[in-house]
Amino acid sequence: MKPAPFKYVLASSLDHALALKAEHGDEARFLAGGQSLIPAMNFRLARPSVLIDINALTRLSGIDRPEAGQVRVGALTRYRALERDGEFLRSCPLFADALPHIAHPQVRNRGTIGGNLSHADPASELPALAIAMQARMRIRSAAGERTVAASDFFAGLLTTDLASDEMLVDITYPVLAPRSGACFMEIARRRGDFAIAGVAAVVTLDEERRCASVRLALCGVGETPVDAGAAALPMIGSRLTGDAVEAVAAGVRDLIAPSGNVHASPDYQRHVAGVLVQRAIRTAHQRISHAA
C-alpha cells in the first residue's frame, strides 16, 4: 500500500462534508480530483487521517451566470468540462489559452478548478488567471459563508486563506469587458509540465484606443501567483507602443524574485518572464483589434 492508512468518507451533502471538516480540522482533507492530493499521499508527503470525498456533490460542479457580466464556476467543475464549454471559453478567453497547458488530458479528466485553487501551487496557471481576472472566491464552513477576492486568497506557497473548517465552493469571474483582449502564455520544459514562467494579460482600451487598463499576473516566478499590474501602470492613458511594452517587461523583471529550479536559474526565469510579458500584452492587444 502506498498511502498511509486513513478513514474514507463519501460525503452525501455539502453540509455533511462541512460538518466532517469542522469535526476533524487539519487532520482531514477534501478529496476532489485527487490529481495533487493522491500523488502527495502516495509519497506519504501528505498523511491525512480522514479523507472526505466530495465527488458525489454534483451541485458543486457546473457553470452558471449569476448576473450579467459574470460567470460562476463550481469548485468541483473538472478542467475537461471547462475545456469543452465554448461559451465559457468565449466569455473567459484566458482559460482557452491556459487549460491546454495544465498537465495532460488524462489528468484534466479528473482535476477540478476548486482543487487547483485550494492547492495553490504557485507554478499553476489558474491562480494567476484568478489574479489577472480579479476573481472572487466563495467559501463555506459549517458556521457560515464568506467571499474573498483572489488577491487575498493566495497566502503563500501552497497556502491559501482557507481555514481548517472551510471549503471553496465556487469562483466568480467577470466576463471579458468590451474593447478588451486577453492572452495567457507559458514556457515549460515539457508539454504539460508546470511552468518555468507564465503570464496572463488582459488589455482594455478606451474609445480613443488608449490603454484604459492592463491586468498582468504571473505564475511560476514566486511563492504565490504574482500580480504585476503595477508594472503596467505607466501604459495607462497612452497608446500601446513597442517601447511602452518593453518598459513594462523591464518593470516586471524588477518586480519578481524567482527562486530558480532544476530547469531554470532565477535569471533565466526573469528573462523568460520579460519576454512572455511582451508577447502576451501584444497578443492581447491584437486580439482586440481583431474583434473590434
Ligand X SMILES: Cc1cc2nc3c(=O)[nH]c(=O)nc-3n(C[C@H](O)[C@H](O)[C@H](O)COP(=O)(O)OP(=O)(O)OC[C@H]3O[C@@H](n4cnc5c(N)ncnc54)[C@H](O)[C@@H]3O)c2cc1C
How far apart (Å, rounded) are the C-alpha atoms in residues 184 and 220? 13
> Tell me, what DSSP letter sits at residue 45?
S
Pick from 11, 92, 99, 102: which binds ligand X (CB under 6 A)?
102
116-135 residues near ligand X, rule: CB under 6 A: 116, 118-119, 121, 124-126
48-87 residues near ligand X, rule: CB under 6 A: 75
Got the DSSP string for 157-205? Answer: TTEES--TT-EEEEEEEEPPPTTEEEEEEEE-SSTTSPPSEEEEEEEEE
The residue whose grid cell reads 514562467 is 197
> Tell me, what DSSP letter sits at residue 58?
G
Name the minimum Å distance from CB 284 to another protein.
Answer: 24
**232, 218 Cβ separation under 8 angstroms:** no
Neighbours of 84 (CB within 10 A): 11
Q: Which does 90 bind (CB under 5 to 8 A by kind): ligand X, another protein, none?
A: none
Residue 237 touches another protein, criterion: CB under 8 A: no
Q: Which does 80 bind (CB under 5 to 8 A by kind): ligand X, another protein, none?
A: another protein
Pick from 29, 72, 136, 285: which binds ligand X (CB under 6 A)?
29
Contacting range for another protein; rule: CB under 8 A; set: 103-111, 141-149, 256-264, 265-273: 103-111
Angle (CA) 199 205 209, round 5°: 130
How far apart (Å, rounded) are the C-alpha atoms in residues 219 and 200? 8
Residue 1 touches another protein, criterion: CB under 8 A: yes
Binding mask 206-245 vs ligand X (x if CB under 6 A, - otherwise)?
----------------------------------------
Name the minimum Å distance from CB 115 to another protein.
Answer: 12
**188, 104 Cβ separation under 8 angstroms:** no
Footprint on this chain of ligand X (rule: CB under 6 A) = 29-37, 39, 75, 101-103, 107, 111-112, 114-116, 118-119, 121, 124-126, 162, 167-168, 192-194
